[in-house]
Structure 1
């Protein structure tokens, strides 16, 4: 059950589009303006954030594990007359020999690493001296507070598709509270107008979560100096124990 293949890749952008404008895009623009030079987006997917950054004139390459997502990115880029530099590979070992002024890890990408501490140490080697890393992480409060049923499928999102059909994503999760691991299965389905299932694909994710204090410690141990942080994509909200989403910029 590999992630970001098949129906999941096809429907990925459509589900994100329902959320509106990417919340992280303004913060990435600010970062790249303050830290000019070559950047790498880790986990660029189909280009949801990468392509708008390129359209704004920033030098950003993309790294993605899924070949299908990269192909979608190339198609979207061609429609925009863009030619992004894209790399297919595992973020925990990728090294093209190029060194970057900034690394971008939006959309909770760090939490997909089997060993986030080791991943951060590797990212440190990819940066120029004085380079910066941007990353966002989340704490699964809804699952921790049992607002979502553990071990049971529940409908996560539903959007209209073509010819009266619907696209649906169902989710099922399990928590390992001691190890701070969230296991999630996503079931993507295309439904005919009568509600019958036309096609289905199931993928699996393993995410690790940590508090703001723990994230600070991981960054320091990897050789980074945290510069600033914000909660829930709101510059006015302090980072505290109630913050569900934590965004951090740190410097090598």
Structure 2
């Protein structure tokens, strides 16, 4: 996952979706903390590097080699020196005590429910009593409501590069509503290049998510909907949840 063309186009597709920018929420969260933070699934540094430029203390954990390589390339261009732990979060060994953890960009949903609980429990185990948690997830309403045809390719993302070339991502899916699991295949295309990848995603409605947090040692505080501070729309496609170590 997140290799080759998928990795190199990742940030470009995010940048083309201004409505999907959560950087302001993450920065607002960090403004309320003192001490270092750890971003789980930091990828190519899309969210982390601008925070380092502003003086925030943020380390990252990332498992995908291509994304870590891109992160160091991007960091050199920005003249910042990030500390990145190249490993799965399950294997991560902390280097210090963190005042907060951030799991943005739907990263937790790439894990099975059992693994998600394990990760949240691990983060709690290396937390102090005042440690805060930031967590963003999405609910795939279009797939749930059959607005997208099952097992059929559709144009998911498209953006223009500075070179004038057009990058595209086509997606098809299967869905298991009973177990709230979405299976997606992606086909990335740029000029003569093509890359195929697949994802298995879990989705959570808020009551289940609160239960998951509290059973993992976290106390739920509040949420923001669709990347808008103070928005509590119960039918939102995206929820950003805040919790404190119990």
| TM-score (normalizing by structure 2) | 0.94
Q: Which moved more, 1:177-186 or 1:126-135?
A: 126-135
Report deviation, 1:35: 1.0
Aligned residue for 1:43?
Answer: 41
Q: Output one character per residue of 1:80-120: Cα deviation in whole Å (capped at 9) or x when no partner.
A: 11000011111233223533111101111111112222221
Flag the 1:21–1:58 CA change in 2: closer, same or farther, 3 A: farther
1:150-197 alpha-carbon deviations (Å, 9 max, x no partner): 111111112223654321100111101111111111111113xxxxxx
CA distance in 2, matches of 1:7, 1:128: 40
Distance 1:222 1:136 in 2: 17
The answer (yes or no) to whether the contact 1:103–1:127 under 8 Å persists in 2 is no
1:1-252 correspondence to structure 2 within 5 Å: 3-20=1-18, 23-114=21-112, 115=114, 116-161=116-161, 163-191=163-191, 198-240=192-234, 242-252=235-245
Please state whether the residue corresponding to 2:168 is helix, strand or coil: strand
TM-score (norm 1): 0.92
Count of paired positions: 243
Report the Cα distance in structure 1 between the residues aligned to 2:164 and 2:73, rounded to whole angstroms: 26
RMSD of equivalent CA atoms = 1.5
Q: Distance in 1 between matches of 2:14 and 2:29?
A: 22
Which consecutive residues of structure 2, in runs of 5 or more, have no partner in the other structure?
none
Q: How many Å separate the matches in 1 of 2:129 and 2:231? A: 30
Residue ranges of structure 1 left out of the alignment (5+ in a row): 192-197
CA distance in 1, matches of 2:29, 2:140: 26
